[in-house]
Structure formats: C-alpha cells, structure tokens
C-alpha cells in the first residue's frame, strides 16, 4: 500500500498529472475545431456543504445559503474544460476568492484575454484584473448565461462545479498543482 501512495505522489509531484491534463484539454479543443489554447474563460463559484470531519479553519458560514461549507472557484474555457480551481472557506466573498484562480489562469494560459463572470465578481476585482493582470473581466449574469449556453452543452464553470469536487486530498488554498519539473 505504501508503494501505491509513493507512486501517486510521484505522479503529482513530477508534474505528470498537470501535463497530461493540459495535453488532453488541447486535444479536446482541437477535436472541436478550436485552437489548443483558449482565448476566453469563465469563472464561477459554488458553496459545497461540509461535514464535521472538515477542520473548522477550512470551512466557513455562507450567509446566502445559511450553511457551513467550503467555496470552490473554477475557471474554465468556453467548452467547460478546467483551467484553474481554488477552494476556500465559504465566508470568502467572490471578489476576494477569485484573485488566485484568475492569477493562475493568467500565468498558465496567457492567451486568455477575457474572462466572463456573474454579478458576484464586480467592483474592485474588475479593476484589479485590468490593472494587475491586464485582462478584461466582464461581469454580468446575462453575459455568463449567454456565453455558457452558446459555447458548450457542458455549460461552463457552474457545470464543472456540479460535476464533482476537486481532487481528493486537496486542502483549501492549495488546489493548484505545484509548478515543479514539467514533462517535455
């Protein structure tokens, strides 16, 4: 059993999982007649109920849903393919929790020039995205709904959120794979 755990750690730590995901995402996009690298993204968040086994420091109270939970932020391309994930306590506001996945998207996918978001991603976040990341964050409920419906039956980040949780064993704030050695 210990050998299996070591192999799983090697796959993750070596960058093999991240590399495989990137290659497969590119192939799916090309099979759909698109460029391998996306130019537009969608960001969404979703609160997910937690159990008592989740440490109190890793969960928060979502006032809108009135539950103790975690919140996951997901950035996808217009096909609904994953670009970035970030998990935080649910009491974190959308405009604050979105910064890391937006930054990761900027670093890992420099071709993404515009990101569509719902109304929770407004104000300072739009300005920060333009000034710091040099990216346009277009925030409107209608924009996100239209973008998801015309681009893919998978429906963008909300559908990605509902398909399941981030990888098992991932702690809040550490959902992005480490930038270690990449496989050529």
Q: What is each CA distance from 87 to 24, 81, 133, 143, 180, in whole angstroms?
A: 23, 17, 21, 24, 21
Q: Do 57 and 124 share a domain, yes or no?
A: yes
Residue 168 lies in a domain: no
Residue 142 lies in a domain: yes
pLDDT at 149: 53
Q: Do 29 and 48 share a domain, yes or no?
A: no
CA 25 to chain CA centroid, Å, is 14
Residue 183 lies in a domain: no
Q: Which residues, other chains included, contact 168 with Cβ-Cβ below 8 Å and sequence gap of 6+?
A: none
Residue 133 lies in a domain: yes
Q: Do 121 and 30 share a domain, yes or no?
A: no
Q: Do 42 and 103 share a domain, yes or no?
A: yes
pLDDT at 2: 58
* Alpha-carbon gap, residue 42 to 143, rounded angstroms: 10
Q: How far apart are the first and last CA of the chain?
A: 29
pLDDT at 36: 93
Assign residue 117 the CATH number of its domain: 3.30.420
Q: Do 21 and 49 share a domain, yes or no?
A: no
pLDDT at 145: 54
Residue 15 lies in a domain: yes
Q: What is the pTM of this model?
A: 0.72
Q: Do 1 and 85 share a domain, yes or no?
A: no
Which is it for strands 114-117 and 82-89: parallel, antiparallel or unpaired? unpaired
Domain containing 145 equals 38-162
Instruction: At 23, list the tokens.
Output: 């290659």
Instruction: At 39, list the tokens.
Output: 């130019």
- How many domains would you assign to the chain? 2
Query: Containing H/E element for 12?
Result: helix 2-13
Residue 175 lies in a domain: no
pLDDT at 4: 60
Q: Do 54 and 100 share a domain, yes or no?
A: yes
Residue 116 lies in a domain: yes
Q: Do 7 and 63 share a domain, yes or no?
A: no
Q: Do 142 and 51 share a domain, yes or no?
A: yes
Q: Per-block average pLDDT, block size 10, for the chain (184 residues)?
A: 59 78 92 94 89 79 80 93 92 90 95 92 92 92 53 51 42 42 36
pLDDT at 157: 57
* Alpha-carbon gap, residue 101 to 78, rounded angstroms: 16
The label of the residue with tokens 């998801």 reads 148
């Amino acid at each position: 059993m210990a050998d299996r755990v070591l192999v799983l750690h090697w796959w993750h730590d070596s960058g093999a999982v991240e590399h495989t995901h990137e290659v497969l995402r590119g192939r799916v996009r090309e099979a759909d007649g698109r460029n391998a690298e996306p130019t537009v993204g969608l960001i969404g968040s979703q609160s997910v109920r937690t159990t008592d086994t989740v440490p109190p420091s890793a969960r928060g109270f979502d006032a809108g849903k009135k539950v103790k939970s975690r919140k996951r932020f997901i950035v996808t391309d217009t096909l609904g393919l994953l670009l970035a994930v970030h998990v935080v306590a649910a009491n974190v506001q959308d405009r604050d929790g979105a910064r890391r996945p937006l930054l990761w998207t900027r670093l890992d996918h420099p071709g993404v020039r515009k990101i569509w978001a719902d109304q929770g991603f407004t104000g300072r976040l739009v300005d920060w995205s333009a000034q710091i990341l040099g990216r346009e964050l277009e925030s409107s409920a209608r924009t996100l709904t239209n973008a998801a419906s015309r681009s893919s039956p998978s429906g963008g980040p909300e559908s990605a959120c509902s398909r399941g949780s981030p990888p098992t064993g991932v702690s809040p704030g550490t959902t992005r794979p480490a930038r270690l050695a990449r496989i050529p």
